[in-house]
Amino acid sequence: MDNQIHNTIVSFIWGIADDCLRDVYVRGKYRDVILPMTVIRRLDAMLEDSKEVVLDMKKKLDAAKIDNQWPALCNAAG
CA–CA separation, 66 vs 69, rounded Å?
6
Q: Does the pTM of the predicted model rise above 0.75?
A: no
Per-residue confidence (pLDDT) for residue 22, from 0 to 100? 74
Q: Over 90: is that where the pLDDT of 38 sits?
A: no
Quick check: 66 and 72 in contact, CB under 8 A? yes
Domain locations in the chain?
1-46, 49-78
pLDDT of amino acid 23: 76
Of 23-32, 41-50, 61-70, the poorest mean pLDDT is in 23-32
